[in-house]
Every structure is written in structure tokens, then in C-alpha cells.
Amino acid sequence: MQIFSGRGSFSFFIKAIIVFSILFGLNGCAVANRVIDSVGSRFTSLSNRYLQEGDRLSGEQRQPEALLAYRQAVEADPENLPAIKKLANAYQAEGRRRLALSYLKQAQALQPADPDLAGLIASLQTPPSAAPLKLLWSAQLIGDVPVGYCLGQGKILVTYEKGLVAALDASSGKILWQVALSTPLSAPPALSNGLVFIGSQAGDLSALSASDGKKIWSFATKAPLYAAPAVTETRVFLASSDGSLYALSLPEGKLQWSFPTGGALRSSPLVAGPTVYFGSADARLYAVDLNNGSPRWQHGILTQGAVESQPAVNANRVVFGSGDGKIYSLAADSGGQYWHYDTPDSIYATPLIDTGMVYVASSGQILAALDELSGKPVWENSTSVAATTTPALAPTIIYYVGPDGPYLFAVDRQTGKDLWKLDTGDWISAGPLYSQGIIYILGKDGTLLAYR
């Protein structure tokens, strides 16, 4: 049954309610307002309801939730100009300048004569920086969240959450190929022997041709894969969150052996000589024979936290971080401890060993250079961000990034002194990569950047 046929009948209805309320001693305006709110909400679009919710959350200083509401408003109506502007402002406040800029340009296309939009767009262009870097190229494949990337054989491989795998030329950023897999991805890629190895949320490892992305084979584990495998000429060593390390043959990908642990495996293994080293959430670092999986150290080496840092090996020493905030240096053959170094919080980054130094990044906001033999700090840098990803070493500089921020930081390798920081335009998804004078950055908006 249709009650209101137009604006006139709606107005008459409200007037009738007010008169009725006055006759019975009620507050006519209050009643009318409640009726208007109730009836009007039925005619408010879904997009505007999200917009109103975003405004409410913003007023309560709940900015992350407000941003989500504004984003839902724009998804419900891509031409909702107030929602687009507020979403852009919310992204700008988070330091996600590139995303804010893209939404402001979307708004400008809807309202090209708006002078305020032109000013806002101009203000979001690349800010001045003391960083002595030049942007060589940038490439944005899709509007999806990247999982990780790797560099090798003149290519950069990138994986995205929704299943896209892309290969780009490392010198130019030209897209060489793209493949959409049928399952969400959860691990960075690995590149070796002409194959690209991709881990999925379903627990499958896929081997693709590095030349065109064609799928060659796959292997299933029992839980999601969060780490890139380690690869030799004849084997792939795969860490799964089902708690086991798997050794697969190359080129066919057949299971040769597996080694179970008491916790999830979330970091990449490392092959050094005849041994595979890997950490587990059961707080242990393990060393097993790469040929048959037999343990080198009985029961592994116990720490006081989950081991989610890929180990590093140099000569007869294996160095790794733990969730207990410590960096350990062990004898690679026996597992005996040489030293440990304490930081305030968990270590997820791979230690970097070079020229007698061990470079350590901690989520406890510490970047440090340690003497490789004694573990004593040569310098310590109190970082402004949690250093959760592996830094990149250049000849004189160490580069690092933090979560939920757009900055690339540069520190002098010899002294630990801060040199500069660079606003890359969006939050950064993974640690920086460095090769032949070029530093690569993967933004959370899916953009890959190369600086020299």
C-alpha cells in the first residue's frame, strides 16, 4: 500500500502529526523530528548512510573505522563527491598520499570547476626531500594489496593477495607477464632455475615458468604458506604453517621427505652446505640434513619466543632472531651458542652479515650493527618506527622501512647516523630490495617504485 505519493502528501502528514501532538500535550517539534528521521532514513542511499556513519566515527576520533566507512560509501556510489573527498582526506591523514591523490583526481573528474580540488591535488604532489635519490620508474598493476616481491635474473616478481602474479623488467619496470591464480596468495615469491614459486592461502605451492608464467606443477600442504621457499639446483625446501618443512624434487616437484615441528613455520628456510636451517613457532631453530631430513641438532635449539626470522649463515656461524627479542649466534655444526644480543621486542627480520658485522633490525625500534665474533654493538640506532622487515645493504648505506608508514630511511653503515628519509607516497608492504645501485620499494597500494 502506498502511503505517500509526493512531497505535498509528506508535508501534510508531518503537519498532521504536529497538530495531533499539540492537542495531546506532546512536544510537536520533537515528535516531528523523530518521524522525519525515521521516514527520511528510508530514502537515504546506502552510500550516504555509510558517509553519515563515517562522520560519526570521525567525530568520536575512531579514524581507522571512519576511513573504512568512507571507503564503503565510495564503493556503494563512486560518484558520491562528499564521500570521495572525505576518503581522500582520511588517506592523506594516514600518510597514504598516492591513494589520496587518486581519489581527489576522481573527484575532480566529477567536478572539474572546483578550485579547492585543484589546490588539494597540487598540495599532494611529491614533497621536497633531502634524499639524493631519483625515481627511475614506477608501475602499478592492479588496485590490490601486494603480498611480497623478489628480485633475480633481471626480473622483479610480485604477488598480490587476490591471486595475481606479475613479472616486470627490473631496469625499466615494463610488465613482462601477468597470471591470475585461482586462489588467494599469502607468501612472497621465489625465483630460481627458471621457475617462480608461489605460496597460497590454501597451502599450495605453485611452480610457474619464469618466462611466461605458465603453471608447471603444484604441491599441497595442510595450512597456509607465509614464506618463500629456499631453492637449490635439485630441491625446493618449503616451510608451511602446518608445522612441517617439505623437501621437493626438481624439476618435477615430488615430495622427498618432510620434517615436523611443534609449531607453525612462517619464515623462509636457509640452505648452507649440506644443511637446511629453519625456525618454528615452537620457539626452536632447527638444522636438518638436506638429503634426508635427519636432524643435525637433537630437538633443535630452544629460545623463549617464536622463531620467525630467517637465519643467516657465515662460515661456521648461524645467526637468527627470535620472538624473545634476542639475536643468537650459534655454531653451525653443533648449535652451541657464541653470544646473544637483546632488543626490546620481537625480531622478524633476517640478520644481515657483511664484512665482519651483523646488522640487526628489531620491532623494538632498534637498528644495530654488531661485531660478528663477539656480538658487541658497534653502533645502535633508536628508530622512529618498528623495524619488522629485513633492511637492504648498499655499499655505504643501510635502508629500512616501517609498517604503516610511507618512509624509506637511510642510515650510514659505518656510524649508524641517520642520513635522510624519503616519502614514497604510500605505506610500504615489504622490506626494500637493493641491486646494482637501484633501490626497489613495494607500496601497499600495489605500486612498485625504483630509485637510483
Question: Which residues have a Cβ under 8 Å from the Cβ of 107 and sit 6 or more positions away?
Answer: 81, 84, 85, 88, 114, 117
SS3 label, residue 92: helix
Please give the pLDDT value at position 27: 52
Question: Which residues have a Cβ under 8 Å from the Cβ of 1 and sit 6 or more positions away?
Answer: none
CB-facing half-sphere around the CA of 349: CA atoms within 13 A: 31
The three-point CA angle 353-395-444 to 5° equals: 80
pLDDT in tens, the chain (452 residues): 333 334 444 444 445 544 444 444 545 455 445 544 444 444 589 999 999 999 999 999 999 999 999 999 999 999 999 999 999 999 999 999 999 999 999 999 999 988 888 888 888 887 778 789 999 999 988 778 999 999 999 999 999 999 999 999 999 999 999 999 999 999 999 999 999 999 999 999 999 999 999 999 999 999 999 999 999 999 999 999 999 999 999 999 999 999 999 999 999 999 999 999 999 999 999 999 999 999 999 899 999 999 999 999 999 999 999 999 999 999 999 999 999 999 999 999 999 999 999 999 999 999 999 999 999 999 999 999 999 999 999 999 999 999 999 999 999 999 999 999 999 999 999 999 999 999 999 999 999 999 99
Question: Which residues have a Cβ under 8 Å from the Cβ of 424 and sit 6 or more positions away?
Answer: 406, 407, 408, 441, 443, 449
Q: Would you state the cell numbers that stand for residue 374, as one nine-digit string?
A: 663477539
**Domains of the chain from N-terminus onward:** 7-123 (1.25.40.10), 135-451 (2.130.10.10)
Is residue 348 within 8 Å of 389, Cβ to Cβ? yes
Q: Which residue has the cell 636432524?
A: 295
Q: Enter the pTM of the model.
A: 0.88
SS3 label, residue 328: strand
Mind listing the pLDDT tens digit for each residue in 282-311? 999 999 999 999 999 989 999 999 999 999
Q: Would you state the cell numbers that stand for residue 111, as one nine-digit string?
A: 567536478
Mind listing the pLDDT tens digit for each residue in 369-378? 999 999 999 9
Please give the pLDDT value at position 142: 73
> Helix 63-76 and helix 46-59: axis angle, to 10°?
170
* Alpha-carbon distance values, 101 to 30, 94, 120, 326, 429 (Å): 43, 13, 8, 41, 19
Order of strands across the sheet with 438-442?
135-140, 447-451, 438-442, 433-435
CB atoms within 10 A of CB 262: 12
